[in-house]
Structure 1
Amino acid sequence: MPEGLQSEGWYSNLNGKDRYIFFNAAPIRDAEGNLLAVVESLEDITDRKRYEEQIEHQANFDELTQLPNRSLLNDRIQQALHTARRKDYNMALLLIDLDNFKFILDTFGHDVGNQLLKIVASRLVGYVRASDTLARQGGDQFVVVASDLGEPEHAATVADKIRSIISEQVKIADLEFSITCSIGISVFPRDGEDVQTLIRAAGMAMYRAKQQGYNNFQFYTDEMNALSQGHLTMGNLLRHALERNELQLHYQPKVNLRTGQITGMEALIRWQSPTLGTVSPAEFIPIAEETGLIEPIGEWVIRTACAQNKAWQVVHHDSLTVAVNVSARQFRGGNLSAAVSRALQETGLAPHCLELELTESLVMHDVETVAAILTELKKVGISLAMDDFGTGYSSISCLKRFPFDKIKIDQSFVREVTTDPNSAAIARTVIAMAQSLHLKVIAEGVETEGQLSYLRRNGCDEIQGYYFSRPLPAAEFERLLREGRCLQLPEEHICPRKTLLIVDDEEAVAAALAAVLETDGYHVLVANSAAQGLELMANHHVAVVLADQRMPGISGSEFLGTVKEIYPESVRMILSGAADFDTVTNAINCGAIYKFLFKPLAAEELRLKVGDAFRHYESLHKRSERVMHHSQGG
């Protein structure tokens, strides 16, 4: 018998329960070495063994999803790489990141977030092959290691299926919602031959997928690495930009739509780098956020804007308000209120002459914390504006909780306010909502007279945009103040009860119609395209619209359908020689068209039909006035 024998393992006891037993046998011999006896011992170490297994499991598996964690993932990737090298095949690493997961956490809480992660993990487990590895990288990120790929492009099929199963509707308690994901893919050996290189490449590809608008997948490319290196270089240069006076502020004026006077300006940061040239804020602000430089840069912007505004007030005696954008990291850094107070004290600017602009998406996360920070800022005495309104998740109930003074309509809606019914409806709704909450409304990105007129007609308080002025360096802005430049507001045009718009792509036909109707005292506007027609509608109070049915690019009935959505009070008529009866009938039935007129039309009949249309407008207008008078208790 060998000098001692040891063994251990799981055994069932008399009750049928598994126990882990450690067995030890030690021989007893005489002086000559003869075996006299064997001392055997059995020790039940079940509790210790289970504790050891628990510790090992916790070290290698995620507690929430029970998937391999980051530590075990690295080991699994190493094993997969070893096998891929030996068998000479491709291997793909897919990094999966859930889109807008933080919003779900902030809105519904961590319990719902954890349940969602478990559901996603379960769905992925049901799809991933047994020969592959599925792991939770941490947070809302998962990793799939797909071995034995025939071609690298086959990873696209895997990624597309993963997107599909994750996007299926989720139901948690009484909540139902869908979630999407962005996936970055790196492939061995094409994109790297070690664990860290492949993970880093997949990460860059995943962030590119996010930049492409979420809910998609991207393969890693060398250009991404070059971009990453460029970001690193830019970050290093940005660290010295402040001390080298490479940053400067430009100022874009805000104008009152009732008086045309400049009421304030928005301070916009610019970077003129000796190495990189002019760098767009869209490029360097995200890097400043990532590196933490946004806080010192943000403080510099606030202090510089306050000092400049104070200097202008001393010279020009105008109590202008300067607005400064606040980033998410700067807002949540905990020092914003102190930084604002310090800047006001150092520069001597009155608190009410400083305004902070915060994006809608920023304030809609962690509402309680945001409300506390905003209340603290209001105690300082400054103004607060919600920027990019309409692009996020806000609601009236949430707005009522925040002490905002102004709302800014996002330029994406302003850009199409005269041509897109949805943008026009959003603009009108935002203005009406703001008025009900006693908030001022600023429209940003105003570039045309039509946009200006439409917003002014619907009660917008202020505008900013290239129609009045681009952002200007401080010296040029001061010249603008010194010259007393104002916005020349469009004149209030003739009463709509006498204004008619003719839209026809044939100039001769449109001119002939106008000549006939002008003799009856109408104020006739002429457009030779739908786009011109919408611009004229924005600039004039039009009562009746007469459009030709056959126009290039858009039919008359389609054009009048748009007019109906944006200007429902107008009376709309179609004039055509060849009718598409189904289209016209549908347009009439849905209220887009008041009457359909056939060509050729005698002058007297034209006058008669147009007269009927104006009388119809009058009756609608009077009915509306009676309803309004009655609703006001008159």
Structure 2
Amino acid sequence: MNAAPPSHAITRLGASEPELARLIDAANSDGPPLMLLHIDIDHFRSVNENMGAEIGDQALIMLGERLAAKFGPDAHIWASGSDEFLVALPLLPGNPSPEQYGELARSQVELPMLILPFTLFLTGTVGIALCPEHARTASALLHCAEYAVAQAKLEGLNLVRRYTRGAAISLRNDGIIAREIVSAVDNGELRLCYQPQVSAGDGRVIGMEALLRWQSPTLGTLIPERFMRTAEKLGVITQIGDWVLRNVCQQARIWRDWGYPDLEIAVNISTLQLQRPTFAMEVVEAIQAAGIPSGMIVLEIRQSALAMDMNFVHQTLANLHREGIRLTLDDFGMGDSSLDSLIRFSVDKIKIDRNFVKGLPAGSREVAITCAIIAMGHQLGMKVVAHGVETETQLGFLRRNQCDIFQGHLFGHPMAADEAGEVLRRRFVRSDAFIATQPDRTLLLVDDEENILRSLVRLFRRDGYRVLAASTVADAFDLLATNDVQVILSDQRMSDMSGTEFLGRVKVLYPDTMRLVLSGYTDLATVTDAINRGAIYRFLTKPWDDNDLREHIRQAFHTYAEQHSRIAG
């Protein structure tokens, strides 16, 4: 990027700003399209409230200078409101896409800011509008960019979104939410649902997560993502949070009286709640008023909340921990997750974000991150919760990789307290999926030619193996996730992935398996590399001799048994 213009070039923008109007006229007159970024700093009010307006002003100046330096002299940058910036830039051929520019702006907000005696960790939500695609006047373009920010905040914070035509409808709904949410507690419109959390060992229900719902008189039942941002802006989030906490504690008392003293109930805590100086005392008072042990309540805290004021948050969490209240770091691995928080803050569990669980076991990146989170959590003495488990394939993979607790639609949707009580009485959920069958000899065959696959199945069944067959790599990973497989025989030339590449990934996920490749051609370099990396045990060729092939598989099972007997010994 080019050198930055001086910081005084960043001025305040009015709706009739002539410079923006000139840029829009150029875009409307067959010039290059104009991009407008609306950058909204998330939760910036808390900086002014907790650290002082002077620190907040310095942060805005520093961010403005960063944006100017990064976008260069072709960009026009204005401050807008108390915590927002606007960036206008012609989209020239060969330049990054609008989304890439939006991510660039977001990354500048995320960079730590050293403003003594504080280090600020901020995030920003970015909306994108284009001229002439979305609007042809300054006021309309500004509105479209603002709408894009609002649409992004319906999904969460720290996101980049381009304007869509339906945004105005959603913003009208936001106006209804703003009018109605302020009286939701007093009008008795809030509801609590509960979703089971089950042990990875046997499917026993060991906890519930309390999930908030709002029965809006106008818009119907809304999930927190639709109204919590507005509640935070209006300052009613603490009132809602207090209602949730006290009602959860009362429900915990009911279930304790039923004979479930070890049950845990998880409660989501907002960033603004955690920043209240009296928050730890309020939690303890709610628990004592309900007459339950402090260990029944688990507070789920988002990673972003830990970056606001580390010293203050650290002290609050330490106080809660000393009272025996358990803590979970929610949606770990997403957004601004930091390994440093696992060291600095006292937490008992980490919860793997559902976006990683959704990609299991086929997604290589999701697999790598999930396994790393599980291993790291266990090394630090924490339990690991997988959120969003929806299939038995995901369940099987997570069990084989030693995840501790599961939550998701496979075990139950969010339900009312009465229905959740019935689940508690049953005590076990989907116990059939937890019956671990561990046959002595299971062989997985992988080949995308159906006639060859059928021939191999017939050949090996005569030897008494439990034979599993997959015609695609995705099916093979599903079978590996849900079965204890000792030996794998894979074709080399498959449409979606080569056999050596497939078995290389298998080695990482299931290193104790015996892996063989069956190929109709020989690529010496590929074979040598796979053998040197330990990805395969043997490389066999087509056409095969039935007896020789059966002997190779017999020896593979024998080698597997010998290796495991040495480990056991």
* Alignment of 1:493 onto 2:437: yes
Aligned to 1:77: 17
Q: What is the identity, as a one-letter code, of the residue corresponding to 1:374?
A: L
* Alignment of 1:324 onto 2:271: no
Q: What is the identity, as a one-letter code, of the residue corresponding to 2:198?
A: V
Aligned to 2:422: 479
Match of 1:120 among 52, 62, 67: 67
Contact 2:519–2:540, Cα closer than 8 Å, also in 1: yes
* Secondary structure class of the residue paired with 2:420: helix
Whole-Å Cα distance in 1 between the matches of residues 447 and 245 of structure 2?
53
* Alignment of 1:575 onto 2:518: yes
Q: 5 Å matches for 1:4-15? A: none
CA change 1:167–1:512 in 2 (3 A) is: same
**1:307 CA drift (Å):** 1.0
Match of 1:363 among 277, 287, 306: 306
Match of 2:384 among 441, 453, 458: 441
Q: What is the identity, as a one-letter code, of the residue corresponding to 1:67?
A: A
CA change 1:162–1:140 in 2 (3 A) is: farther
Aligned to 1:59: none
Contact 2:184–2:190, Cα closer than 8 Å, also in 1: yes
* Unmatched tracts of structure 2, length 5 or more: 1-5, 115-122
Aligned to 1:285: 228
Aligned to 1:415: 358
**1:92 CA drift (Å):** 6.8
Whole-Å Cα distance in 1 between the matches of residues 106 and 409 of structure 2?
44
* Secondary structure class of the residue paired with 2:210: strand
Match of 1:163 among 101, 104, 108: 101
State which structure, 1 or 2, has the greater radius of gyration over its C-alpha atoms. 1
CA change 1:157–1:346 in 2 (3 A) is: same
Q: 5 Å matches for 1:38-437? A: 65-70=7-12, 73-74=13-14, 77=17, 94-97=36-39, 117-122=64-69, 126-128=73-75, 134-137=77-80, 141-143=84-86, 163=101, 182=126, 184-185=128-129, 199-208=142-151, 218=162, 223-437=166-380
Single out whichever of 210-219 and 268-277 deviates more from structure 2.
210-219
Whole-Å Cα distance in 1 between the matches of residues 94 and 223 of structure 2?
34
Contact 2:147–2:168, Cα closer than 8 Å, also in 1: yes
Q: What is the identity, as a one-letter code, of the residue corresponding to 2:67?
A: V
**1:356 CA drift (Å):** 0.5
**1:381 CA drift (Å):** 2.7
| 1:51-108 deviations in Å (ceiling 9; x for gaps) | xxxxxxxxxxxxx9223532xx4397158769999xx979978345388898xx99xx
* Secondary structure class of the residue paired with 1:541: coil
* Alignment of 1:592 onto 2:549: no
Whole-Å Cα distance in 2 between the matches of residues 164 and 290 of structure 1?
24
Q: What is the identity, as a one-letter code, of the residue corresponding to 1:340?
A: V
Contact 1:181–1:214, Cα closer than 8 Å, also in 2: yes
| 1:405-448 deviations in Å (ceiling 9; x for gaps) | 11212222223332233333333322222222222222222223
**1:304 CA drift (Å):** 1.4
Contact 1:421–1:566, Cα closer than 8 Å, also in 2: no
Contact 2:442–2:487, Cα closer than 8 Å, also in 1: yes
User: Scaled by the length of structure 1, what TM-score is found?
Assistant: 0.72
Q: What is the identity, as a one-letter code, of the residue corresponding to 2:246?
A: R
CA RMSD of aligned residues (A): 4.4
Contact 1:419–1:562, Cα closer than 8 Å, also in 2: no
Whole-Å Cα distance in 1 between the matches of residues 23 and 199 of structure 2?
70
CA change 1:94–1:315 in 2 (3 A) is: same
Match of 1:456 among 396, 399, 409: 399
Contact 1:93–1:143, Cα closer than 8 Å, also in 2: no
Aligned length: 539
Contact 1:185–1:206, Cα closer than 8 Å, also in 2: no
**1:251 CA drift (Å):** 0.8
CA change 1:546–1:422 in 2 (3 A) is: same
Whole-Å Cα distance in 2 between the matches of residues 84 and 259 of structure 1?
63
User: Scaled by the length of structure 2, what TM-score is found?
Assistant: 0.79
* Secondary structure class of the residue paired with 2:359: coil
Aligned to 1:54: none
**1:588 CA drift (Å):** 4.4
Whole-Å Cα distance in 1 between the matches of residues 241 and 458 of structure 2?
61
**1:566 CA drift (Å):** 1.4
Contact 2:447–2:470, Cα closer than 8 Å, also in 1: yes
Whole-Å Cα distance in 2 between the matches of residues 556 and 371 of structure 1?
49
| 1:159-212 deviations in Å (ceiling 9; x for gaps) | 9599399679999999xxxx99945447699958786x7644443345557869
* Secondary structure class of the residue paired with 1:468: coil
CA change 1:369–1:156 in 2 (3 A) is: farther
Fraction of identical pairs, as percent = 34
Whole-Å Cα distance in 2 between the matches of residues 429 and 272 of structure 1?
40
Whole-Å Cα distance in 2 between the matches of residues 135 and 491 of structure 1?
62
Whole-Å Cα distance in 2 between the matches of residues 258 and 440 of structure 1?
13
CA change 1:238–1:332 in 2 (3 A) is: same
Whole-Å Cα distance in 1 between the matches of residues 113 and 407 of structure 2?
46
Whole-Å Cα distance in 2 between the matches of residues 493 and 403 of structure 1?
38
Single out whichever of 386-395 and 260-269 deviates more from structure 2.
386-395
Between 1 and 2, higher relative CO (CA 8 Å, sep ≥ 6) is seen in 2
Whole-Å Cα distance in 1 between the matches of residues 310 and 168 of structure 2?
37
Aligned to 1:537: 480
* Unmatched tracts of structure 1, length 5 or more: 1-63, 630-634
